[in-house]
Amino acid sequence: MLTKPFEIPGKQLKAAGLQLTNLIHYQLTPDELVTGTLMKRQGRLNDTGAMVIHTGKFTGRSPRDKFIVKDEQTAATIDWGGFNNPIEEKYFDRILEDVRAYLNERRELWVRDSYACAAEEYRLNIRIVNELPWMNLFAHHLFLRPSEAELECFEPEWHILSAPGLELDPVRCGTRQGNATVVSFKHKMILITGSSYTGEIKKGIFSVLNYLLPQNRDVLSMHCSANMGPGGDTALFFGLSGTGKTTLSTDPDRRLIGDDEHGWDDKQVFNFEGGCYAKCIHLSEEKEPGIYHAVRNGALVENVTFLPGTDHINFDDASVTENTRVGYPTYFLENRVPEETGGVPRNIFFLTCDAYGVLPPVARLTKEQALYYFVSGYTAKVAGTETGITEPKATFSACFGAPFIPLHPGRYASMLGSRIAKHGVKVWMVNTGWTGGAYGTGTRMKLTDSRAMIRAALNGSLDKVECHKDPVFGLMIPDSCPGVDPKILNPRNTWAQPEAYDRQAKDLAGRFAENFKNYQDLVAAEISAAGPAV
């Protein structure tokens, strides 16, 4: 029998405004959720036993359709504009009414009690109500899992109501279109409609924590991964999608604390989550063994295809989306920190995939430079490579996570700066992008070289070598690095035509300066002055 009785006497779903006439599947195991998905023909197993599903129309988040209710609590505290789209309370009330009505009409619902924040003093209890079993499996993987004893007295603080089959009336509900993710801090609710993309669930709670923790608890919330060395030293890895954040933090010589979201208080770094949500386009055992072997029984793999006539995933096929993903709990990884907490970091890495090919593969940053590049949140993307498009596109995402930060970027930068200064943290930039030319001319930085440079920074080897100052970006570039060909360390020397490098570097420096105009009046002058020379 797939269903368990709903075992929360007196609580049930009244707080969410849902009826009890539904067939409630409460706190099912991953095996039971996989079975339910297969019975409904909503997914297929691959040859390792992983559940493969398609998320439908949406294969990624829809930032323009994410809203925060503007009320007396948020009106003066949210940094409105950009990704923080306001919605009136009356529209939230209508959407909530529609979501409740829709879910109450479902024959079955999947309910899970979870929590965020591995540090107990910041724990946030969450109840997730899903229309689909495989989305409840995702919630099991990505959030932290209460024990049986904790479930007996579990009190949810926040509710997530996920109704992907519900298309809103934009005129009635004040939305842009039929899908929306709506956050209300007053009601402590996240409503998700019209999209089956699981990342909306994960990032909804991340946005909530990015608002609550810095304001209420003096905790710096961060879009980064974290790991720990054999000696107990913690390192943080910031980076946008495609920069190697998950890959480089999943290191066989270090234990993973967490994959994507962390908090940093006076004494520790702690994971917000209980799982990993890794990109798996071009996934291979050779390059990313930890992630590759996590694609196994119980894992949830999204939007991939199979090799013809087999149950073997074709990780190189981006015909559905480049954003193919695998979600799995951290306990799938042998090399991890079970407590998902670590000490104050000694090293921070800003990862960028520079498709212009002008940033150095590794460089040491001053505190002021660290804050400049943190606020900038730079990477470069190349879209549509299959059609031969070779023009890189600069992407700036403040704090390496602009869609998820409700407060002004300067607030997070100030907190980071005080922590860097207080603890003497070393900050590095690592370019995992192109060398010897821009995309289409140069070559992608080797993963083995990026790993070698990060290891040298972590073990102190780069502290002992001579460095020179980059004349454009002002970064201190080491002249040598153990295990790395010194020819690649100075990017200008890797270009066949150094004058072409100079033009490209000047162009990128100008893009940095233009983007930073959005922030220069709200940060200290020395931070603005720490950017590239233009």
Cα–Cα nearest to 219, from 270, 145, 258? 270
- The helix (run of H) or strand (run of E) holding residue 528 is helix 525-528
Tell me how many helices (H) and strands (E) the chain has. 14, 30
- From residue 78, alpha-carbon distances to 65, 66, 84, 210, 442 in Å are 17, 14, 8, 11, 42
223 flagged as catalytic: yes
Name the active-site residue from 159, 203, 255, 411. Answer: 203
DSSP 346-374: EEEEEEE--TTS-S-SEEEE-HHHHHHHH
Give the bridge partners for 378, in sequence order.
Answer: 396
Name the active-site residue from 100, 141, 145, 223. Answer: 223
Task: Decide if 313 contacts 304 (C-beta within 8 A).
Answer: yes
Count of residues in the chain: 534
- From residue 48, alpha-carbon distances to 127, 195, 305, 311, 332 in Å are 30, 28, 14, 9, 14
90 flagged as catalytic: no
Structure tokens at 497: 């035509």
Name the active-site residue from 243, 246, 324, 397. Answer: 246
- Distance between the two ends of the chain, CA-based, in angstroms? 67
Sign of CA dihedral 494, 376, 206, 163: negative
Sign of CA dihedral 212, 216, 220, 226: negative
325 flagged as catalytic: yes
- From residue 185, alpha-carbon distances to 15, 71, 83, 197, 525 in Å are 15, 9, 17, 22, 34
Structure tokens at 482: 């153990």
Name the active-site residue from 254, 279, 325, 455. Answer: 325
Name the active-site residue from 61, 127, 364, 426. Answer: 61
**Whole-angstrom distance, CA of residue 278 vs CA of residue 275:** 10
Sign of CA dihedral 350, 356, 359, 362: positive
What is the identity of the amino acid at 520?
Answer: Q
241 flagged as catalytic: yes
Give the bridge partners for 517, in sequence order.
Answer: none
What are the φ/ψ torsions at residue 18 (nearest 5 degrees)? -105, 150
Name the active-site residue from 48, 241, 305, 480. Answer: 241
245 flagged as catalytic: yes
Cα–Cα nearest to 94, from 22, 161, 171, 164? 171
**Whole-angstrom distance, CA of residue 182 vs CA of residue 257:** 30
Name the active-site residue from 98, 259, 260, 449. Answer: 260
Hey, how many other C-beta atoms are within 10 angstroms of the C-beta on 310?
10
How is residue 316 annotated by DSSP?
Answer: T
261 CA to centre of own chain: 6
Tokens 């922030």, located at residue:
519
Task: Decide if 116 contacts 209 (C-beta within 8 A).
Answer: yes
Give Dmax over CA atoms of the chain in angstroms. Answer: 73
Name the active-site residue from 100, 145, 202, 245. Answer: 245
203 flagged as catalytic: yes
How is residue 214 annotated by DSSP?
Answer: I
**Catalytic residue ranges:** 61, 203, 223, 241, 245-246, 260, 325
